[in-house]
């Protein structure tokens, strides 16, 4: 036992000592090799210019040297030991980097530029590691400060890592051959579909014919003046896309709560009066109708989020999770002007809206899904006279011309009846008629699509001439003029004997 006590302690390993004080991630030998290769071969800079920037280097002297090389390249001047030395002298940095001797020493670090791209990627990886450490350290310090608002700190954290991730998203240039094969496969896939659409169907026949469905990676702006039915339009689409076409839909409502949205979907699906849904004054038969029709909505792949003042960074994080967990096929935002660009420090509201629209376009490309964003129009429509003057124009988009620029498609919702315009030029009734005006379509045709607007249900449907002559209302209302009924379900429903018609029946498609 005594011998064991007298045994000397083992010395700590170098690894344990290093763990006490950590060195930032770096690769100085590779930095020297890359700079040496750039001095040796004039075309080497092209291989690394899109990978690393001056800040990517750990050693400050190497940052100055790379900046001098970058400056010479931008002026289309040759890059070698002599020109770089002279450029550093002009910049006043020659002595800081170690003088002409250090420049000449760099060329001895490498024999050629054969592996310069691989080395540059390692340098950039070390830079990203240092940036993550820097951001995390700063956030950790602020997290201990009770004077800093937690929500502001979360926004700052999300913004910081979002910008770092955005800078790391680089795609290589590809030869057109594989892209052509991908395009052909998409054409075949569309041809094999029953509806022949290449995108996500809206559920409106004529609109889908013109757009071929909402296309992946497209940013679609749907704009209108207040009370035109923007929310009713996107909820009608949401219902049809999720229920009729089984497409998972994400709806971000910055204006209405989740409960309000769901109530409107219930009204649209059950065709019960909205007032009765709000106050719960339903008869026994109406409760039966509600219970029967609501089943389709219960398991619908619709995901709603009513976060007020949603920022583009929060939206991006939520959408990425939804895409991964539920494979959402389309994103709908109600509406764009209520979003914020928290953390981006915009100079004005117009610049903020521009940042938001650009971010939405980038998100659509990243997730490869269409994004539909509602937008408000300015009062220019109200100030114009005549039936044609009331039709929205691209110049009416509110707060930013960047919305028009970033969008792949701009659509307007117009209801002439709102402006007391009851007939068109041919004398056809415009009562209950809504128009979707496709004013910009980057990859297709522009034009107008007529839809039927059922105000009592806040719902848009396919347009059928002559529908305005039919009296509509709740299925339980005694003044309803019943059209021909099409049986969908012959099974009896409990308590349905008193129904004016069975819940298992639907109106014709025209209705």
pLDDT higher than 80, residue 34: yes
Q: Are 226 and 376 spatial neighbours (Cβ–Cβ below 8 Å)?
A: yes
Q: Are 253 and 480 spatial neighbours (Cβ–Cβ below 8 Å)?
A: no
C-alpha closest to that of 373 among 252, 237, 227: 252
Q: Are 320 and 292 spatial neighbours (Cβ–Cβ below 8 Å)?
A: no
| Residue 126's pLDDT band (cuts 50, 70, 90) | very high
**What's residue 467's pLDDT?**
55
> Which residues 6+ apart lie within 8 Å of 108 measured at CB?
36
**What's residue 391's pLDDT?**
81
- Cα distance between residue 454 and residue 387, in whole Å: 22
pLDDT higher than 70, residue 108: yes
Mean pLDDT (whole number) for 196-214: 84
Provide the Cα torsion 50, 56, 59, 64; round to 10°: 50
Q: Which two tokens stand for residue 417?
A: 């009846």
**What's residue 343's pLDDT?**
56
DSSP state of 340: B
Which residue ranges make up each domain of the chain? 28-167, 197-462
Mean pLDDT (whole number) for 209-224: 88
pLDDT higher than 50, residue 217: yes
Mean pLDDT (whole number) for 109-125: 83
Mean pLDDT (whole number) for 57-62: 91
Of the listed ranges 239-248, 326-335, 492-501, the one predicted with least confidence: 492-501
Mean pLDDT (whole number) for 357-385: 84
| Domain at 28-167: CATH code | 1.10.860.10
pLDDT higher than 90, residue 210: no
Q: Of residues 426 and 250, which shows the higher confidence score?
A: 250
C-alpha closest to that of 128 among 198, 181, 53: 53
pLDDT higher than 80, residue 96: yes
pTM: 0.63
- Cα distance between residue 411 and residue 403, in whole Å: 12
pLDDT higher than 90, residue 331: yes
Mean pLDDT (whole number) for 289-313: 82
Q: Of residues 227 and 249, which shows the higher confidence score?
A: 249
The reply to whether omega before 159 is within 30° of 0 (cis) is: no
Q: Are 118 and 125 spatial neighbours (Cβ–Cβ below 8 Å)?
A: no
| Residue 332's pLDDT band (cuts 50, 70, 90) | very high
Span 477-503, pLDDT tens digits: 333 333 333 333 333 333 333 333 333
| Residue 245's pLDDT band (cuts 50, 70, 90) | confident
> Which residues 6+ apart lie within 8 Å of 349 measured at CB?
399
**What's residue 498's pLDDT?**
37
**Terminal CA-CA length for the chain:** 97
Which alpha helices (H) appear in 92-115, and where do they start and end? 94-97, 99-106
Mean pLDDT (whole number) for 106-125: 83
- Cα distance between residue 434 and residue 418, in whole Å: 10
Span 418-470, pLDDT tens digits: 778 877 777 777 888 888 888 888 888 888 888 888 877 778 888 876 655 44
Mean pLDDT: which of 28-37, 105-114, 342-351 is highest?
28-37
Domain 197-462 classification at class level: alpha beta
pLDDT higher than 70, residue 505: no
Tell how strand 302-305 and strand 249-253 pair up: parallel
Phi, psi of 113 (to 5 degrees): -100, 25
Mean pLDDT (whole number) for 33-58: 85
250 - beta bridge partners? Answer: 303, 331
Around 29, how many Cα atoms within 13 Å sit in the side-chain half-sphere? 0
Span 37-49, pLDDT tens digits: 888 887 788 778 8
**What's residue 347's pLDDT?**
64
Mean pLDDT (whole number) for 172-178: 65
pLDDT higher than 70, residue 63: yes
Q: Does 197-462 match 28-167 at the fold level?
A: no
């Amino acid at each position: 036992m005594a011998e064991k006590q007298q045994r000397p302690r083992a010395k700590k390993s170098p690894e344990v000592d290093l763990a006490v004080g950590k060195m930032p991630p770096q690769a100085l030998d590779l930095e020297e090799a890359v700079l040496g290769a750039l001095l040796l071969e004039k075309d080497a800079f092209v291989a690394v210019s899109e990978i690393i920037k001056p800040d990517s280097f750990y050693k400050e002297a190497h940052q100055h040297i790379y900046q001098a090389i970058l400056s010479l390249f931008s002026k289309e001047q040759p890059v070698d030991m002599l020109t770089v030395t002279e450029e550093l002298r002009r910049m006043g940095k020659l002595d800081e980097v170690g003088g002409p001797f250090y420049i000449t020493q760099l060329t001895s670090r490498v024999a050629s530029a054969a592996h310069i791209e691989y080395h540059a990627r390692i340098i950039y990886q070390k830079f990203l590691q240092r940036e993550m450490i820097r951001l995390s350290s700063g956030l950790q310090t602020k997290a201990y400060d009770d004077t800093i608002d937690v929500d502001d700190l979360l926004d700052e954290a999300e913004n910081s890592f979002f910008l770092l991730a955005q800078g790391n998203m680089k795609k290589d240039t590809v030869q057109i051959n594989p892209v052509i094969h991908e395009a052909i496969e998409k054409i075949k896939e569309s041809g094999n579909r029953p509806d022949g659409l290449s995108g996500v169907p809206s559920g409106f026949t004529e609109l889908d014919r013109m757009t071929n469905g909402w296309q992946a990676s497209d940013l679609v702006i749907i704009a209108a003046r207040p009370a035109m039915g923007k929310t009713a339009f996107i909820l009608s689409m949401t219902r049809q896309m999720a229920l009729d076409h089984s497409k998972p839909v994400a709806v971000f409502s910055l204006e209405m709560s989740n409960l309000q949205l769901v109530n409107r979907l219930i009204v649209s699906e059950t065709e019960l009066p909205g007032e009765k849904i709000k106050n719960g004054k339903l008869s026994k038969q109406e409760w039966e109708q509600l219970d029967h029709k609501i089943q389709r909505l219960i398991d619908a792949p619709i995901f709603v989020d009513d976060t007020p003042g949603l920022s583009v960074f929060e939206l991006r994080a939520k959408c990425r999770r939804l895409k991964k967990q539920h494979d959402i096929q389309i994103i709908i935002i109600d509406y764009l002007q209520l979003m914020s660009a928290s953390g981006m420090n915009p100079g004005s509201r117009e610049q903020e809206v521009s940042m938001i629209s650009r971010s939405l376009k980038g998100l659509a490309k990243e997730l490869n899904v269409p994004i539909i964003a509602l937008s408000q129009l300015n009062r220019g429509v109200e100030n114009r006279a005549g039936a044609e003057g009331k039709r929205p124009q691209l110049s009416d988009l509110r707060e930013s011309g960047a919305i028009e620029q970033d969008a792949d498609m701009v659509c307007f919702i117009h209801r002439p009846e709102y402006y007391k315009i009851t007939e068109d030029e041919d004398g056809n009734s415009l009562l209950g008629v809504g128009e979707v005006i496709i004013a910009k379509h980057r990859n297709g045709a522009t034009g107008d699509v007529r839809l039927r607007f059922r105000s009592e249900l806040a719902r848009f449907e396919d347009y059928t001439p002559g529908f305005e002559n039919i009296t509509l209302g709740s299925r339980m209302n005694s003044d309803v003029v019943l059209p021909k009924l099409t049986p969908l379900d012959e099974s009896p429903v409990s308590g349905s004997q008193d129904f004016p018609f069975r819940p298992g029946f639907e109106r014709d498609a025209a209705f």
